[in-house]
A and B are shown apart, each in its own frame.
Chain A
Amino acid sequence: MGTYAIEASGLTKDFEKGRRTIWQRLRGEADRRETFRAVDGVDLQVREGEVFGILGPNGAGKTTTMRMLATLLEPTSGTATVLGHDLVTESRAIRRRLGAVLSGERSVYWKLTARENLEYFAALYHVPPQQTRERIVEILEAVHLTDRADDYVEKFSTGMRQRLVLARALLPAPSLLLLDEPTVGLDPQAARDLRERVLQLRDEGRTVLLTTHYMEEADQLCDRIAIVDHGQIVALDTPDGLKRSLRATEVVRIEISAPDAAEARLVRRFDGRGTITRQERVDGALHLTVHCSSARDLVPLVIDAARLEDGEVRNIQVQPISLEDVFISLTGRALRE
């Protein structure tokens, strides 16, 4: 087993809800604000050289976890080492070898050129002056911005600015890259380019920790994925391992018009050939989602059952099991809910 770029144990972050007014402070009133637990005892081990994904819906605690690991946010409790350094007491040492894309594409200086932006941040990252020029040239080349290097950033598209933000994160030649929702807001081509770049970074031997709520992105990029919900890791494995955990290979979505009274009998006719993960009536029609090992075997049974119960199959869709299905089975709700 390789060494770990990140090891976190019981990482927890609480936020206070609401505000405590200056008047309350002056009067010395007790702080009665409720706390909200954004991250709840996360244990995480990210191996060196892997692309590790944190997948979850908005508000699941992904970004808070990333900000803690990036030293921007103090954990309420728990411990973590990043690149061998303690998260709290050795934060500056961590930042020397850490690249991060946490804020959006607006976080660059629009009245500076791309090169000037990188020159400024190269100095902040303590890149030796004799290496700065060459490193900026290499990085601009890597993110395909060489021909626009001396244009003001205000003239850039969203995708170009996002590439510049990635370029900034690469300035310290980081061993570890944290990417928080890196493709949000990008057009499909720009998102595809960025995903390719992430895979290149892994090939260069860097560790990448990324958050996303795009299951396809996680599936395509990540060696391992932690699925998070309500601040907790609910599953952690390779994408294939997570899908295998459902003991099914395909998901069948069925719409049947059938009398209400016949619903239970109808479902019983093919129950056992798969796991029903959704069963509800929408506009009078019965909607079912079934995880199964063979749609080829299940679909004829469904059609027969509908016919025998005076119903009619309106629609059937068969798809391979996805991470979305894994998420639904684990949390009972969809990623984008």
Chain B
Amino acid sequence: MSPRLADLRGDVRAFAAASLKELRILRRYPGTILSFVFWPIALPLAFVFQAQAFSGGRADTAAAFAERTGTHDVAGFLFVGWATYMWLSLILWGPGTSLRTEQVRGSLEAIFLTPASRLVVLFGPAISQLIWAIWIFVVVGIALWVGFGVAIGPVEALRALGVILVGVPALYAIGALFAAVVLRFGQVNALVQGVRGLFTAVCGMSFPILVLPDWAQVVALSLPPTYLIADLREVLLIGTGIGRIVGDLVVLAGMGLVLGILAVVAFRRTEQYARRGGRLAQY
């Protein structure tokens, strides 16, 4: 076996081990998992009540909502939007926080002392982010079914899983870009807060982007969460098949590829910078 192929096989195993490590650690914090039963229900519920208050329960306002969103299901619309927001928040914080924790603990240097590819440390925790996504959407699905009688069938759930899988690379790549910032500047909080604010403002967590000004819609359409939220609503609430949103999914996958390459390049450059300045273990 050529050394290059041996390295590749080794890196695949290292990636699997990094994912397993993340899942093991996640399993040992059951309190965190339980907290994500409460928030995916409480946060959108507040917006559902707000919507009810604004609409006054009138037929014309409900029709206006349906015209703009394609569904009469206000609760479903808000629950899916905010569930995506919560998952997105976890992803934005995830890789950067994980890298920062490794840096402060000293294990980042220990990882960099191994022959494993640097991308293992960058993308290894991605699998646990997928678990979080599934967990949040399961909680939301149950809440919609029990609280509002919105039943999501297995076919819709499978389609949603497909959308999530296509969306993971793009969202995770954004998180990985933040991880590169962590290695460069040591902290990422302000940037993450800013980007999260931008996503909340324009990506349509609690409203259809049609209500935005034209320029803001252009911004929204350049951001991956917009496609993810819209497509999840399509498959979960309207029953649209994957075939009809394939264009969106291609765009989402393309964004994932571009952002992924950007993240890898940024991470390599910041690693080089850290290696020159001795910042791998600095905090």
Interface residues of chain A: helix, strand, loop or mixed (majority): mixed
User: Is B59 at the interface (CB under 8 A from chain A)?
Assistant: no
Q: Are A95 and B109 in contact (CB under 8 A)?
A: no
Chain A residues with Cβ below 8 Å from B111 are: 124
Most B CB contacts (10 A, CB to CB) among A67, A74, A119, A124 go to A124
A106 touches B106 (CB 8 A): yes
In-complex Cβ contact of B106 among A92, A95, A104 (8 A): A104
Q: Are A109 and B115 in contact (CB under 8 A)?
A: no
A64 lies within 8 A of chain B by Cβ: yes
A15–B277 contact, CB under 8 A?
yes
A150 to chain B, nearest CB (A): 13
Residues of chain B lying within 8 A (CB to CB) of residue A108 = 107, 110
- Does B18 touch A at the CB level, under 8 Å? yes
Q: Give the residue among A119, A121, A172 with the most B Cβ atoms within 10 A.
A: A121
A329 interface hit (Cβ, 8 Å)? no
Spot the interface stretch: B6-14, B168-176, B246-254. B6-14
**Nearest CB on A from B30, distance (A):** 12
Chain A residues positioned under 8 Å from B25 (CB to CB): 109, 111-112
Interface residues of A in 115-171 (CB under 8 A from B): 116, 119-126, 129, 152, 165, 168
Q: How many residues on B have C-beta within 8 angstroms of the other chain's C-beta atoms? A: 34
- A124 x B116 contact (CB < 8 A): yes
Q: Name the residue in B7, B113, B120 with the highest tally of chain A Cβ atoms < 10 Å from its Cβ.
A: B113
Taking a contact as CB atoms under 8 Å apart, the answer to whether A120 and B105 are in contact is no
A64 to B280, CA, bound (A): 13
User: Which residues 87-119 in A have Cβ within 8 Å of B in the complex?
Assistant: 92-93, 95-96, 98, 100, 102-104, 106-109, 111-112, 116, 119
Contact at A109–B275, with CB atoms within 8 Å?
Answer: no
Whether A72 sits at the interface, judged by CB under 8 Å, is yes
Say how far B13's CB is from chain A's closest CB, in angstroms. Answer: 5
Query: In the complex, are the beta carbons of B109 and A103 less than 8 A apart?
Result: yes
B residues in contact with A71, CB < 8 Å: 113
B35 on interface, CB distance cutoff 8 Å:
no
User: Which residues of chain A come closer than 8 Å to B2, judged between CB atoms?
Assistant: none
Q: How far is the CA of A115 from the CA of B31 in the complex (A)?
A: 24
Q: How many residues of A contact B (CB 8 A)?
A: 38
Is B153 in the interface zone, CB < 8 Å from A?
Answer: no
Bound: A109/B115 CA distance, A: 19
Complex contact A95–B115 (CB within 8 A): yes
The verdict on A70 contacting chain B, using a C-beta distance below 8 Å, is yes
Complex contact B115–A125 (CB within 8 A): yes
Question: When the two chains form their complex, are residues B105 and A67 in contact, meaning their CB atoms are under 8 A apart?
Answer: no
Task: Say if the beta carbon of B28 comes within 8 Å of chain A.
Answer: yes
Chain B contacts of A103 at CB under 8 A?
Answer: 106-107, 109-110, 281
List, in ascending order, chain B residues with CB within 8 A of A120's CB.
Answer: 17-18, 20-21
Q: Would you call B21 and A116 a contact (CB within 8 A)? A: yes
Q: Once the chains are docked, how many angstroms separate the CA of A313 from the CA of B274?
A: 57
| Closest Cβ–Cβ distance, residue A203 to chain B (whole Å) | 24
Question: Is A73 in the interface zone, CB < 8 Å from B?
Answer: yes
Interchain CA distance A119-B13 in the complex, whole Å: 11
The 4 A-B pairs at the shortest CB distance, nearest first, are namely A126-B10, A123-B17, A107-B106, A103-B106
Q: Can you list 30 A-B contacts (CB < 8 A)?
A: A16-B277, A64-B278, A74-B276, A92-B7, A92-B115, A96-B115, A102-B109, A102-B110, A106-B106, A107-B110, A109-B21, A109-B107, A111-B28, A111-B29, A112-B21, A112-B24, A120-B18, A120-B20, A121-B114, A122-B17, A123-B16, A123-B17, A123-B116, A124-B18, A126-B11, A126-B13, A126-B114, A126-B116, A165-B110, A172-B115
Apart from A74-B276, A119-B17, what 5 extra A-B contacts exist at CB < 8 Å? A92-B7, A102-B110, A107-B106, A112-B21, A120-B17
